[in-house]
Amino acid sequence: MRNAANELQAAAWNGASGQAWVEEQTLLDGAFEPFEALLADEVEASGANSVLDVGCGSGATTLAVARRLGGDGRIVGIDVSEPLLSLARERAQREGLATDFVRADAQVHAFRPATFDMMISRFGVMFFDDPVAAFANLRRAATPDGNMRHIVFRSIAENPFMTVAERAAAPLLPNLPPRNPGAPGQFAFADRDRVRLILENSGWNRVEIAPIDVPCAFPATALERYFTRLGPLGQVLREANEPAREEIITRVRDGFQDFVDGTQVRFVAACWLLCARASG
């Protein structure tokens, strides 16, 4: 059965939002490279050889793990976005890496049971309409000794960089949709107690939720592309007329000044590292 809310996510990521992420893949992968390395390290340390990357996007983490595994393992990336998966497949082919990419909703996809001994995600598991059902579905796809390592954002308050654009633009855009931390989206897993219940109620064991604070950076020359192409403001600006757009861009650019350090934009991503085992 297909899920209406997840269909909305699929529509967004197969439309303008997905295309923007394709076009800004270099910027995003550069900014979030520390997470890619962290998850590849976790896979390597675990000795896993059958890995699922949930919400793999354009494949940065999938490919990083494939490089570590060499020819000794298998990694599958799953995502709802065909534009992002097409780019992921192209990247894997260019590098000659053994990967599989599946376009599907991980909440309902019919995975082969007991297949993966490690499941990872870099910001890809906060978008499920029914997270308990989604993680139960993933649990069924895990081997009895399977593990998960998922990275999600903590609260809006702990991640001020992520909402600079909306806060700076608010006086000019009073109807900009507010963030709803409890809804599927970037901050859906901010509440540690809620996340623990989700994982435990979906059948995962030995749940550990550890805070991690990860310094990130990208070139200052890419800042305007970042806030005009991505996120809630990027969606609004696609429809704005030119005079309004220029006024908004000027105000938002000024709002980011505390994060500009010479030639770099620098911020700290406040996240949870979710760890759990399929068996007790």
- Residue 202 inside a domain? The answer is yes
Task: Compute the distance between CA of residue 33 and CA of residue 214 in angstroms, rounded to an integer.
Answer: 10
On whether the CB atoms of residues 37 and 68 are closer than 8 A, the answer is no
- Residue 41 inside a domain? The answer is yes
Please give the model's pTM, rounded to 2 decimal places. 0.94
Taking 80 as the threshold, does the pLDDT of residue 76 lie above it? yes
pLDDT at 17: 84
Token code pair at residue 272: 């949870």
- Residue 170 inside a domain? The answer is no
- Residue 251 inside a domain? The answer is no
- Residue 255 inside a domain? The answer is no
Task: Compute the distance between CA of residue 29 and CA of residue 236 in angstroms, rounded to an integer.
Answer: 24
Residue 90 sits in a domain whose CATH number is 3.40.50.150
- Residue 54 inside a domain? The answer is yes
Based on the structure, what is the number of domains in the chain? Answer: 1
> Angle CA(182)–CA(185)–CA(191) in degrees, nearest 5?
40
- Tell me which residue range forms the domain holding 11: 4-156+178-217+268-277
pLDDT tens-digit series, residues 213-256: 999 999 999 999 999 999 888 878 877 778 888 999 999 999 99
DSSP-derived letter for residue 252 is H
pLDDT tens-digit series, residues 161-220: 999 999 999 999 887 877 887 789 999 999 999 999 999 999 999 999 999 999 999 999
Which stretches does DSSP call E strand in 126-248? 142-153, 205-219
